[in-house]
Amino acid sequence: MILKILLIAAVIAAVYFMFFKTKPAVQKSTKKEPKRKPTAADVNDMTECATCGVYVEVKEAILSNGKYYCSRECLKKAN
């Protein structure tokens, strides 16, 4: 009776160990997908300078009359 319980416990432990082993692999694959999405969002955050055509981040770009400029010099050139 005790041997049967030990055998069942060993099987459960083996199955649990297998699940535990495969889980990190699944987490790694799911982690890769969100990593790709922010890079795509980063590309979307890039905008072209209306004067020189250089790509700059929207955060760093200067917005004037609905157009983005990479620097104040380009903004002056446009105006």
Binding site for Zn ion (CB under 5 A): 49, 51-52, 54, 70, 74
Q: Which is nearer to Zn ion, 13 or 54 (CB)?
A: 54
Q: Which is nearer to Zn ion, 47 or 49 (CB)?
A: 49
Give the span between the Cα atoms of 58 and 48, in whole angstroms.
9
Least distance from Zn ion to the Cβ atom of residue 39, Å? 24
| Bridge partners (DSSP) listed for residue 64 | 67
Q: Which is nearer to Zn ion, 47 or 74 (CB)?
A: 74
Give the span between the Cα atoms of 49 and 76, in whole angstroms.
12
